[in-house]
Structures are given as structure tokens and as C-alpha cells.
Amino acid sequence: MSIERIIVIQAGGQGKRLWPISTDTIPKQFIKFEEYSLFQQTCLRVRALFKNTSCKVVIIGNIVSIATLKEQCSEINFIPDIFIIQPSNRETATILLNTAFLIQEMWGKKSCIHFMPSDHVFSVESAVYTALKKGENAAEHSDLVGYGIEISTYSNQYGCYITNKTSKDMVYYNAVEFRPNVSIDGLVEMQGQYSCFWDCGILTAKAEKFIHLFQSVLPDFSKECFKSYQASKMIENNILLDEDYYAQIKPISIAQSLMPYVDAMSVIDIETKWADVGSWKNFFQWYADRPDDYITNTIRYIANNRNMTVSVGADSAFSESYNMMSLITNFVTISAAPDAIDELIQKKMFEVNNEGD
């Protein structure tokens, strides 16, 4: 009996860090900075990587942006086996465990699951497929398989895999520890003794092992998630999670709540450049080789399609309603540091979130 391969595309996030272009109904994964959105690029990557192999595809969305998600699937003729629709955002641990319950019931406990974010980009797509194939082999012996990017510069945005120093010809590394974040001093100290990798967000595990990990580390949380899954409804190829049960589950991140406590974890070096386009800083760094006018015109085009007022140029006047959009485009024009853009965005986000307090 062959083992089912399941690709889970995580597209249910809110994507607030690319405000003001990113909105509730069109989070960052659905923004078309190029011909295709980050979400569509992920779907096309899955199609290309697994065109000669059998696999099932599950896409995670949320009730607010599901119409956009399905429209973008239709544009590229990408039809998954299942849509899972979250009634609210309860962080990654909650939705991934609910998804694992579904996969175990539909395709068996030995199913090999690849969890893939929908807002990440890779410079060499074939390297992703090579890494995932290694991950499937590692999943036979490990409870959880993560994928890492060799560290060249420090960042406080990513989790860190700490592995035993072994030769590069190893199929995978054995993780000594996973840290959701690490200080620059701690990283420097560890790199003298260990091989360290940034977490690029992809995970692989057998359905049975993934569920058992949660039941061992977070037993009460697992029970609540199972209740939520049992209350879900299936309409055609849509799994609708129950709003009341789902809202009762504590929202926790898998990187914070589970991964630091996994003993039998393997790490695959994905061996290509990668970016989580989750902030303006990362956006500008990834598109650094593009002309300034390309990025500026792209942002202006998106803004105009949303009926936003955008002014480009250091001396331009702009409406108060969209001053952040204008500041972004001004910064692109005058080549300001990405850190300054992030600072402005975060400041504005704080102001918006605290209105009326």
C-alpha cells in the first residue's frame, strides 16, 4: 500500500505587516506584486514540483478572505482536494492540528504531510523539491522535520534550528534544539559549536506522529482541537470549522508551543535563497535587484486599484488618510533604509490598533 503525500498550503493568515496594502480581505499572500500573488506562486510551485508524482492538496483559508483565495485558485486553474475554512484566526498550532485530524481521517495515519506557508519565496524552486524528498525520508525516522536556511546574517524575525555539526553530505541534520528566537550574542556563541539554520516555515511529518506530538506536549489543547474538528461540517470540498468551538481554543503558535519541545526532530538544509515576505524590510530586500521605479509603480498600481491616493516624490502632498502609502512610495523613490520603513509601519499599526483606548 502506497503512502499518501499531502501538501498543505497555509493561506489563512491576516498578513497585517504589509499595511496599508495588506487588508483583512486581501492579506499579503494575495497581493500581486508580480504577475502572480505570493499565494499563486506557492500553488504553481506545488503543481510544478509534484507534476510527476501523486499527491493531495489541502488549502487553509479564513472566512474573511476565502472569496479572494478561491478566485485566485480559479485564475490559475488550481483545484485542491480540500479547502479548510477558519472562522477566525487562532494561530498556527490550532489550524495545523485540526488539519492533521482531517488528513488522518481521510487519507490515513501514515500520510506524509508537508505544511507550506503561502507567503514565502525561493530563488531556486527545484531545491525545494529536493529538500522535500529528503524530508519524506527523514519523516520515517523523526517525529517532525523542519527546513532550514544556512545563516549568513542575523535576524530577530525567525526561529533557529540548532543541529550537531555534521558533514554536508548528510541527508539531514539531527536537531539539538529549536529556539523561536535567538539573540545575536547567543547565535555567535552557538555557531562555534553547532550548525545553525533559520526556520523557513516548512514542516513535514506523518499524520499520526504529528498528532501524537501535540497530545504528548499539549494534551488539553489537543482535546479542544479535536472537539473543534469533530464539530466541523463538510460541504462539497469545503471543511467549515465550527465558529463556537474554534473560538474557545487558545491561539498559540506552533513555533512557540510545540517545536521547542520535540526531541526527535530532523532538519533539512534547503540550499537556496529564501525570504518570508512578511514585512516591508523583507519585501525591499528580496526585490533589491529590481529598479526603484518597478517597485514604486507596482505599489502605485495596487493602491490605485484600491482607490487609494498615492503621491510619489519627496515633495509631494498627500491626503492624511493614506499618508503611510505615500511615505512608502516616497521611501522607495529616495532609497531610504528598509528599517526606517518598518519602523514607520509598526508605529502606524500601533496607532490604528489603539484608537479609542
CATH assignment at residue 266: 3.90.550.10
- Separation CA 339–CA 320 (nearest Å): 23
Lowest mean pLDDT among 80-94, 146-160, 232-246, 330-344: 330-344
Q: Which of 240, 273, 306 is where one domain is finished?
A: 273
| 108 φ/ψ angles, rounded to the nearest 5 degrees | 105, 155
Query: Is 170 part of any domain?
Result: no
Tell me, yes or no, whether 284 lies in a domain: yes
Whole-number pLDDT of residue 290: 65
pLDDT at residue 134 is higher than 60: yes
> Which residue, 79, 58, 64, 75, is CA-closest to 27?
64
Please provide the distance, in angstroms rounded to a whole number, between the alpha carbons at the two ends of the chain: 59
* pLDDT top residue among 157 and 96: 96
Whether residues 226 and 92 share a domain: the answer is: yes
Over residues 131-146, mean pLDDT = 92
Claim to verify: residue 11 and residue 86 sit in the same structural domain: yes
Distance, in Å, from the CA atom of 284 to the CA atom of 29, rounded to the nearest integer, reads 16
Residue 166 resides in a domain? no
pLDDT value at residue 206? 97
| CA proximity to 98, closest of 3, 227, 238 | 227
At 315 the pLDDT is 37
Q: Please state the length of the chain.
A: 357
Residue 287 structural domain: 280-353
Q: How far apart are CA 138 and CA 106, in angstroms?
A: 23
The CA angle 161-262-266, to the nearest 5 degrees, is 50
170-189 mean pLDDT? 81
Higher-scoring residue by pLDDT: 301, 237: 237
- Both 219 and 307 in one domain: the answer is no
255 close to 92: Cβ distance less than 8 angstroms: yes
Please say which residue of 220, 250, 273 terminates a domain: 273
More confident residue, 51 or 221: 221
20 CA to centre of own chain = 19
- 190 part of a folded domain: no
Confidence of residue 194 (pLDDT cuts 50, 70, 90): confident
- CA–CA dist 10, 92 (Å, integer): 9
In a domain, 215, yes or no: yes
320-355 pLDDT per residue, tens = 334 444 545 444 443 344 455 455 545 544 544 444
Torsion 29-35-41-46 (CA) sign: positive
- Amino acid letter, residue 226: F
Please check whether residues 334 and 234 belong to one and the same domain.
no
pLDDT at res. 59: 96
Residues 233 and 97 in one domain: yes
Q: What is the pLDDT of residue 13?
A: 80
Q: What is the pTM of this model?
A: 0.82
* Close Cβ partners of 277 (under 8 Å, ≥ 6 residues apart): 18, 28, 38, 119, 120, 121, 283, 286
The confidence score (pLDDT) of residue 238 equals 94
> Do 137 and 209 lie in a common domain?
yes
Query: Does residue 295 lie in a domain region?
Result: yes
Q: Kindly report which listed range (107-121, 168-182, 255-269, 286-300) carries the lowest average pLDDT score.
A: 286-300
Give the pLDDT confidence score for residue 89 in this predicted structure.
Answer: 84
Please report, as a single letter, which amino acid is at residue 310: V
Does one domain contain both 243 and 308? no
* pLDDT over 90 at 279, yes or no: no
Per-residue confidence band for 166, with pLDDT thresholds at 50, 70 and 90 = low
Q: How many CB atoms lie within 10 A of CB 350?
A: 9
What pLDDT score does 298 carry? 62
Between 234 and 315, where is the model more confident? Answer: 234
Q: Domain boundary at 255, 273, 291, which?
A: 273
Higher pLDDT, 29 or 24: 29
Cβ–Cβ < 8 Å for 151, 191 = yes
342 and 216 in a common domain: no
User: Hey, which of 29-38, 68-77, 158-167, 174-183 has the most confident mean pLDDT?
Assistant: 68-77
Residue 161 covered by a domain: no
Q: Are 281 and 338 in contact (CB under 8 A)?
A: yes
Give yes or no for residue 317 having a pLDDT over 50. no
In this structure, is residue 182 part of a structural domain?
no
Asked if 11 and 69 touch (Cβ cutoff 8 Å), the reply is yes
Same domain? For 139 and 288 the reply is: no
Asked whether the predicted pLDDT for residue 177 surpasses 90, the reply is no
pLDDT value at 204 more than 80: yes
Give me the chain's average pLDDT, please: 80
- Do 247 and 305 share a structural domain? no
The domain tally of the chain equals 2
Q: Which of 53, 126, 285, 95 is nearest to 203 (CA)?
A: 95
Residues 315 and 219 in one domain: no
Q: Where is pLDDT greater, at 186 or 220?
A: 220
DSSP state letter for 179: E
Q: Kindly state whether residues 113 and 236 are assigned to the same domain.
A: yes
